[in-house]
Amino acid sequence: MTNAPRGHRPPHGAPVIDRAFALLGAFSATRRAMTLAELSRATGTPPSTALRLARRLLHWGALERDGGGRYVIGLRLWELASLAPRGHGLREAALPYMEDLYEATHQHVLLAVRDGHEALLVERLSARDAVDVLYRVGGRLPLHSTGVGLVLLAHAEPELQDQVLAEPLVHEPEGLPVSPAALRRTLARVRQTGLAVAERSEPGPLLTVAAPVRGADDGVVAALSVVVPASGAEPRALAPALRATARALSRSLGSPRAS
């Protein structure tokens, strides 16, 4: 915490916002509800400060109490977040196209954007009896070992590619190391063919085919993929539907290349 020039209050109020967002940031997919004591511990905030912050966040609807009185992320935050262009906005534009693809495959259709060195899953349409996938909407995926990730990495700026390739990379969930040279060849092939194909053997064998979605400046803004059981799947059969759908979505986003 910064030392305030006068008294004990944070200068310019900035650290208060930081503490509030640290409190919100303590929530995760595996930690969706917390007591005040848990919030205090998770953020290293004294209980009295945590209580004061939590009260303001409750007031704004950024937090809510669940049936057991624990704090959870609030509906008002969700309402605000529905205005995020790269999250919900993109998802709204993409949903009808994803529906088309879903009706053709009846397994999983994924839409993801890049955020730093990861992909963020913006939407997933899944049949109830579809193969298990590891990712949830709002969750993060590795760039180097998923279909959508490979597409987003292949079209990222070269500096970012270099940074990702310099990291120790493994194929999740099998834990196999990834060779940077092989990954560079894969990325070149993704750019050349306009498609990424990825396979996963654990926990169940599946195949994913992914394609880039372009925006108004023709840059790649997202990646779209279908995920199907590996047995009997034929990437060449999935490719045309995926290409056509990604292109139609790109056109609806104003991509000059797709028009």
Q: Which of residues 175-234 bind a copy of itself (CB under 8 A)?
A: 216-217
Helices (H) and strands (E) in the chain, counts: 9, 10
Which of these ranges, 126-134, 175-183, 186-194, 197-205, lies near a copy of itself under the rule CB under 8 A?
126-134
- Say how far apart CA 249 and CA 259 lie, in whole Å: 10
25 backbone dihedrals φ, ψ, rounded to 5°: -70, -15
> Is residue 1 near a copy of itself by the rule CB under 8 A?
no
Which residues lie below 8 Å from residue 138, measured CB to CB, with a gap of 6+? Answer: 29, 120, 121
Nearer to a copy of itself, 5 or 240 (CB): 5
Using rule CB under 8 A, residue 241 touches a copy of itself: no
- Given the complex with a copy of itself, which of 60 and 185 has the nearer CB atom? 60
- Token pair belonging to 33: 């509800």
How many CA atoms lie within 13 Å of 248's alpha carbon, on the beta-carbon side?
Answer: 15
Give the nearest distance from C-beta 118 to a copy of itself in angstroms.
10
Q: Which of 83/181 has CB closer to a copy of itself? A: 83
What is the H or E stretch that residue 142 is in? strand 140-142
Which residues in the 37-96 window bind a copy of itself by CB under 8 A?
Answer: 52-53, 56-57, 60, 62, 64, 66-67, 72-89, 92, 95-96
134 binds a copy of itself (CB under 8 A): no
